[in-house]
A and B are shown apart, each in its own frame.
Chain A
Amino acid sequence: MQALAKRRRAALTAAALAVAGCVAATEMAPKKPPVQTVEILAQRFNFTPEEIKVKKGMPVDLALTTLDRLHGFDVPGLGLRAEIVPGETTHVKFTPEKAGRFLFHCDVFCGEGHEDMDAAIIVEE
């Protein structure tokens, strides 16, 4: 019996250490950086806002909607592309890894002012 009780104590101690270890691991885990959410509105022939500032290394969630028709969202410098469909919110999620100014434009021809439908994402250090 004494041997059994000893084994149980040892098991409980081990379990307690394991729990303590979990707590310590949780406390030590790096905090997730907050997501930078930006709403972008497309309509012939502009994006609002025309300039978006985000921080390098922090996750970004772009929420794209259109007021009129199908538009494109193309950011070649960041390797991002999506279509903005009427009645839907298109989410483009990414984490910028380099600072700079990245032009984006509508790449679905939308009429007389299509060529001027562009804007920029500024990634700051």
Chain B
Amino acid sequence: MNALKQQPDFVVFTGDITQTTDDPQERRKRMAEARDIIKGLSVKTVRFLAGEHDASSDNGAAFKEFFGETHYTFDHKGVHFIVLDNVSDPGAALGEAQLNWLKSDLAQLDKKQPIVVLTHRPLFDLAADWDWATRDGQQAIDMLMPYEHVVVFYGHIHQEHHQMTGHIAHHAAMGLMWPLPAPHSQPKKGPVAWDPAQPFKGLGWRSVDSETKKMTVALTEHPLAKSTT
């Protein structure tokens, strides 16, 4: 990130900053290490989302100590960003209180307001039997439907995926570690098996080119394997 010629306005972590541990002290130690690494970024505006590995063991308590609130909004250059937390509830739900908060936030917006939703789990049912869903995510999607310009970026599944729910686009990108298989492509969920012949299989990154006047974006995927061979 620091080597990029054009530095981003801000950086977002879409969750799972740490691996799960049942030990609350170890959890905080890992979060402190992550926070210290992230401090090395040249970009100083950093937004954090919790993943279930960070927050589901203690309802997000340790995460909040290190990285702040788990659901919030911010605005940047005319775009309204909404961060939703579908991991602090161990049952993978947003919950009634957060849904009411979302409803109140949306009520203040014009229907043409560009909105970006950031969340960890997909809001739609991608593969519920692999825990790739949000139990009450459809309620959030229903609330967003009246707004004309909405896009959702999420993490959790460690691979490229694109889904439309009506006019709302949901995008997940490849990660730089721990690739996961395509939904239901193998009997049980688990990491992509290590293959020495293809060490970077399933890993990569995405670039986004935007045309602000036309309100269009172009996503380009960059598999790591391709760029290293």
Interface positions of A (Cβ within 8 A of B): 72, 74-77, 101-105, 107-112, 114-115, 118
A residues in contact with B52, CB < 8 Å: 109
Once A103-B188, A114-B20 are accepted as A-B contacts, the answer to whether A109 and B129 lie under 8 Å apart by CB is no
**B20, B90, B92, B187 pick with most chain A CB within 10 angstroms:** B90
B residues in contact with A110, CB < 8 Å: 90
Give 22 A-B contacts (CB < 8 Å), ordered by A residue: A74-B129, A75-B129, A76-B128, A76-B129, A76-B133, A103-B129, A103-B188, A104-B129, A105-B129, A105-B130, A105-B131, A107-B91, A107-B92, A108-B91, A109-B56, A109-B57, A109-B90, A111-B57, A112-B22, A114-B56, A118-B129, A118-B188
Q: Nearest Cβ distance between residue B193 and chain A, in whole angstroms?
A: 15
Provide the residues of chain B in CB contact with A109, threshold 8 Å: 52, 56-57, 90-92
What A residues does B57 contact at CB under 8 A?
109, 111
Which residues from chain A contact B129 at a C-beta distance below 8 Å? 74-77, 102-105, 118
Q: A111 near B20 (CB under 8 angstroms)?
A: yes
Residue of B with least CB distance to A70: B90
* B163 interfacial contact with A, CB 8 Å: no
The yes or no answer to B35 lying at the interface (CB within 8 A) is no
A72 to B131, CA, bound (A): 12
Q: From known contacts A104-B129, A112-B22, infer whether A118 and B92 are also in contact, taking CB-CB under 8 Å.
A: no
Q: Is B73 an interface residue (CB 8 A)?
A: no
* Chain B residues closer than 8 Å to A114, beta-carbon distance: 20, 56
Asked whether B189 lies within 8 Å of A72 as measured between CB atoms, the reply is no
Q: Is B125 on the interface with A (CB-CB < 8 A)?
A: yes
Q: State A109–B52 Cα separation when bound (angstroms).
A: 8
CA distance A76 to B184 in the complex (A): 13
Min CB gap A19→B, angstroms: 53
User: B165 — which chain A residues lie within 8 A by C-beta?
Assistant: none
CA distance in complex: A117, B130 (Å): 10
Q: Which residues of B contact A118 (CB under 8 A)?
A: 129, 188-189
Give 11 A-B pairs besides A112-B22, A118-B189 with Cβ atoms closer than 8 angstroms.
Answer: A76-B129, A76-B133, A101-B187, A102-B129, A103-B129, A108-B90, A108-B91, A109-B56, A110-B90, A115-B131, A115-B189
Bound state CA distance, A23 and B133, in angstroms? 54
B180 to chain A, nearest CB (A): 10
B125–A76 CB distance below 8 A: yes
Complex partner residue of B21 from A72, A102, A112, CB under 8 angstroms:
A112
Which of B22-60 touch A at CB < 8 Å?
A: 22, 52, 56-57
> In the complex the two chains form, is B131's CB within 8 Å of A107's CB?
yes
Q: Which residue of B lies closest to A106 (CB)?
A: B131
Q: Please, which residues of chain A bring their CB within 8 A of the CB of B21?
A: 112
- Distance from A47 Cβ to chain B, minimum over Cβ atoms (Å): 13
CA distance A43 to B65 in the complex (A): 30
Q: Considering only CB atoms, which chain B residue lies closest to A78 in the complex?
A: B129
